[in-house]
Amino acid sequence: GSGDVHGEVVVLGSGPGGYTAAFRAADLGKKVVLIERYSSLGGVCLNVGCIPSKALLHAAKVVAEAEEMGAHGISFGKPKVDAGELRGWKDSVVKQLTGGLAGLAKQRKVTIVEGFGRFSGKNSIEVEGENGKQTVTFDQCIIAAGSEAVKLPFVPHDDPRVVTSTGALELDPIPKKMLVLGGGIIGFEMATVYEGLGSEVTVVEMMDQILPGADKDIVKPLHKRMEKRLKAIRLKTKVTEVTAQKSGLKVTFEDEKGETSSETFDKMLVAVGRTPNGGRIDAEKAGVKVSDRGFINVDHQQRTNVSHIFAIGDTVGQPMLAHKAVHEGKVAAEVCAGEKRAFDARVIPSVAYTDPEVAWCGVTEEQAKKDGTKYKKGVFPWAASGRSLSNGRNEGITKLLFDPEDDRVIGAAIVGTSAGDLISEVALAIEMGADAVDLGHTIHPHPTLSETVNFAAEMFEGTITDLM
Ligand code: FAD
């Protein structure tokens, strides 16, 4: 048709993976087309993920801290929450970032095609937009279609009181009684938000801990604090039935002994994981193999089984995190431009932006035990950190794991204020092959929380005889 477009590199999806790939390819001289179904760029992360959730978590944190200052001689009144105004502020943060992306795309002469794309051949995508269909042809393509929240068959998802994370971020309304199904990162972050804004929140999790995947000792301080603030944290419990009633959502729980109970809630967030969008784009018409679960397999250069088609981000697998998508996007774009590049990260940090934050990277202690990986550890409890005591928040722990052969750092887990920021130092240490002495002898500013990394390394050094 007349509106048909050709790109040397066509990127399908404008999330962190997609926009990074598009911008990098354009910077390397490629003519780039970026296809996005929504009018706003930035994908899940900017629009309905990382960014809006952090804006709301900040609000919840201010509320909790103001309340806790009561014990140190400063009292505020009960907070008045204007959900509309808070939503407006959150939306303005998102808009500033997505608007910035649109500007960056324009600067680089990246052509944006709005609409839902599906492959129609080895070198073409059919895009269905508001004004009809358009064909986009390409020499090379990068699939960055992201993921979607998993819905449960026994939950009435069409009831407006049942939401996934996208709906939960709308704060419409802030309910009196809220159930969060799923104690993973997204579920627990949203539980923190709603608790801070005044809801009575129950979190239910099938596993025996919140934030499954993180070490139990590291999760404990978060559990302990939130157990007091939330209505309940129900572990080893399944939700088996949800019925929409006029008075609320009647939820049936089954605990580990098989005993059932039920309770009624005004709102329910289902946060049980995300499913890749690989199965919705007719990838097979281009010859690209998609797994039954919707994931697209790639090699270390992000190439699919079809050599001129690449895939990145949530669509290619776990961990489904923005920073992983970004790095894969760079690799794919650079390989498209003829560079010899590969995705070769030693560690991808995970962070729960709860209060306290929980962050980990590399080998976890529980995984090491399971795999029989030998390790030694250095642990520093924050009760001995001057800065955390002055913050009135000394519940943190910084734990480092070392290879017993050469004392190199192989993993870290941190719980406490700003743990998500603190983990970066250890990620760098692992990437650089640093050892305990490197971390222990690097001068950290005093008094900071970053010293806890330094101290944890020193705790470990204390077990080495040839030192100081
Ligand atoms: P996405 O961001 O999912 O983007 C895919 C884009 O492709 C979307 O814009 C979609 O509309 C578009 N698209 C898909 N199919 C088509 C099609 N056929 N045609 C046209 N367009 C299409 N990660 C972190 O690292 N840190 C966090 O703090 C964090 N917080 C989160 C909080 C929440 C509530 C959620 C839900 C997620 C969070 N994540 C976080 C995860 C993060 O959002 C994702 O890992 C990240 O967005 C993945 O990027 P992506 O580029 O692979 O895809």
Ligand 1 centroid to Cα of residue 324, in Å, is: 11
Report the alpha-carbon distance of residue 316 to residue 328 in Å, rounded.
10
Please indicate if the annotation marks 282 as binding a ligand: no
Report the alpha-carbon distance of residue 454 to residue 458 in Å, rounded.
6
* Alpha-carbon distances, residue 84 vs 199, 287, 316, 365 (angstroms): 16, 47, 37, 43
Considering only CA atoms, which residue is closest to atom 11 of ligand 1? 37
* Residue appearing with tokens 């008075």: 247
pLDDT of residue 460: 86
Q: What is the CA radius of gyration of the chain?
A: 24
Please indicate if the annotation marks 411 as binding a ligand: no
pLDDT of residue 442: 95
Report the alpha-carbon distance of residue 218 to residue 396 in Å, rounded.
8
Ligand 1 centroid to Cα of residue 54, in Å, is: 15
Chain centre to alpha carbon of residue 245: 33
pLDDT of residue 4: 87
Please indicate if the annotation marks 117 as binding a ligand: yes
What pairing do the DSSP bridges indicate for beta strands 376-381 and 397-402? antiparallel
The residues lining ligand 1, judged by C-beta closer than 6 Å to any ligand atom, are: 12-18, 35-38, 43-45, 49-50, 53, 116-117, 144-147, 165, 186, 277, 281, 313-315, 320-323, 325, 353
Please indicate if the annotation marks 273 as binding a ligand: yes
pLDDT of residue 171: 97
Tokens for 422, please give them: 């603190």
pLDDT of residue 464: 45
Number of Cβ atoms within 10 Å of the Cβ of 364: 22
Name the residue among 274, 279, 305, 301 with its Cα closest to residue 290. 279
Per DSSP, the three-state class of 184 is coil
Give buried/exposed letters for 151-178 (b at 16+ CB in 10 A, else e): eeeebeeeeebbbbbebbbebeebbebb
- Report the nearest atom of ligand 1 relative to the CA of 115: 20
- Report the nearest atom of ligand 1 relative to the CA of 314: 52
> Along the 468 residues of the chain, how does pLDDT read in single tens digits?
557 899 999 999 999 999 999 999 999 999 999 999 999 999 999 999 999 999 999 999 999 999 999 999 999 999 999 999 999 999 999 999 999 999 999 999 999 999 999 999 999 999 999 989 999 999 999 999 999 999 999 999 999 999 999 999 999 999 999 999 999 999 999 999 999 999 999 999 999 999 999 999 999 999 999 999 999 999 999 999 999 999 999 999 999 999 999 999 999 999 999 999 999 999 999 999 999 999 999 999 999 999 999 999 999 999 999 999 999 999 999 999 999 999 999 999 999 999 999 999 999 999 999 999 999 999 999 999 999 999 999 999 999 999 999 999 999 999 999 999 999 999 999 999 999 999 999 999 999 999 999 999 998 876 544 433
Ligand 1 centroid to Cα of residue 294, in Å, is: 15
Q: Which helix (H) or strand (E) holds 77?
A: none
- Cβ neighbours of residue 365 closer than 8 Å, sequence gap 6 or more: 215, 217, 375, 377, 399, 401, 411, 413
- Report the nearest atom of ligand 1 relative to the CA of 118: 18
Report the alpha-carbon distance of residue 454 to residue 438 in Å, rounded.
9
pLDDT of residue 466: 40
- The catalytic residues are 446
pLDDT of residue 290: 98
- Report the nearest atom of ligand 1 relative to the CA of 50: 30
ipTM exceeding the 0.95 mark: yes
Ligand 1 centroid to Cα of residue 343, in Å, is: 19
